[in-house]
Amino acid sequence: MVSLEEAVSSLISLVPDVEQMVWIAKQNCVNPKDSLTIDESASIMLYTMEWQPFEKSFYVALNNTLRASVREQLKPWFSYLRLIINALQKLPSTHHVVYRGVKSDLTAEYSRGSTIVWWGFSSCTVSIEALKHEHFLGKEGIRTLFSIECDSGKNIRSHSFYAEEDEVLLLPARQFEVIGCLDQGNGLQIIQLRETQPKFPLIKLNSS
**CATH code for residues 93-196:** 3.90.176.10
Mean pLDDT of 79-91: 96
Mean pLDDT of 103-111: 94
Nearest to 91 by CA among 179, 22, 158: 158
Mean pLDDT of the chain: 91
CA angle, 131 as apex, 126 and 137 as ends, to 5°?
140
At residue 175, the 3 state secondary structure works out as: strand
Dihedral of the alpha carbons of 170, 174, 175, 176, in degrees to the nearest 10: 10
Whole-angstrom distance, CA of residue 152 vs CA of residue 169? 9
Mean pLDDT of 23-38: 95
Q: What is the pTM of this model?
A: 0.90
Q: What are phi and psi of 84, to 5 degrees?
A: -70, -35
